[in-house]
Amino acid sequence: MTDSLLSFSDLLHSRNSTRGFLDRPLPDGMLAELLSMARRAPSGANLQPGEFISLEGEARARLSAALVDAFRTGKQEPEDYSYFPQPMPQSLRRRQVAAAKELYGALQTGRDDRAGRDRQFERNFNFFNAPVALLVTIDARMGSGCYMDLGMCLYGLMLAAAAHGLGSCAIGALASYPGLIRSTLELGDEHHIVCGIALGYADPDAPENTVRTERLKPEEFFRTLR
C-alpha cells in the first residue's frame, strides 16, 4: 500500500462523531476552505444542492434556547423528510441500540438514568458547544436524489475537517424541529431543514470522543450476481 493510500485509509478509520470540543476557534479562512473542498463531491447535473448557514452570537444562542425549550417541553413537529424508517425493522433497531449503548457507556450513564440521557441528548441543540455551529438546509424543490448528493458533500466536509485535525458531528436531531428553526431564524418555507454540524478541535479528554461504532463487513452488504 502506497503512503497516500495508507494516509487516506487512516483518515477514514480515524474519523468519528465528535461530541466534546476545545474552546479554540478555527484559524481565519479555514471554514471556507473546508466548505470549498466539500463542494468537490459528485453532484447529479452539477446542481450542488444544499446551503450551509454558520450560526454565531445572538442567532446561535436564540436558536439553541428555542430548541432546548422545545425538547424539554416535549414539543413535536412534522419533519421535512423522513430520517428513520417507520416502523424501525428489528435488525436496524439492534444497531441503533448498540450505538446508544456505546455512547452512554462511555459517559457512564446507565440505561435507567433518564435524566442523564436527556441531558446528553440536549447537548445536540447546543451543537455540543463546538466553536462552529452549522445549519444545513436544502431547497424544498429539490428531488430526493439531491439528498444523496448533499450527503456526499457532508461527508466530504467531515473528511476535510479530519484531514485538518478537526472533529465534527452531524446533528440529525435538528431535523425534528423544522418549523421552529425556520421561524426562529426567519427562514422561508423553501428551506427544508436537513441537519446541523458541530465542528472544531476535539477535546482529547472527553470520554464521548472515544466511541467507535461497529461497521458492517463487506459480506453483510455486498454480493455478486452472475
pLDDT value of residue 1: 59
User: Per-residue pLDDT tens for 105-151?
Assistant: 999 999 899 999 999 999 999 999 999 999 999 999 999 999 999 99
Cell of residue 37, nine digits:
473542498
- Side-chain half-sphere exposure of 179, counting CA atoms within 13 A: 6
User: Per-residue pLDDT tens for 162-172?
Assistant: 999 999 999 99
CA 48, 201, 203, 214 dihedral sign is positive
Residue 168 φ then ψ, to 5°: -150, 160
Classify domain 16-81+125-205 at the CATH topology level.
Answer: NADH Oxidase (3.40.109)
Contacts for 139-145: CB closer than 8 Å, 24+ residues apart: 139/49, 139/51, 139/190, 139/191, 139/192, 140/80, 140/189, 140/190, 140/191, 140/192, 141/190, 142/47, 142/49, 142/192, 145/44
How far is 90 from 94, CA to CA, in rounded Å? 6
Looking at per-residue confidence, does 111 or 188 come out higher?
188
User: Per-residue pLDDT tens for 25-69?
Assistant: 999 999 999 999 999 999 999 999 999 999 999 999 999 999 999
pLDDT value of residue 5: 59
Cα–Cα nearest to 33, from 161, 126, 201: 161
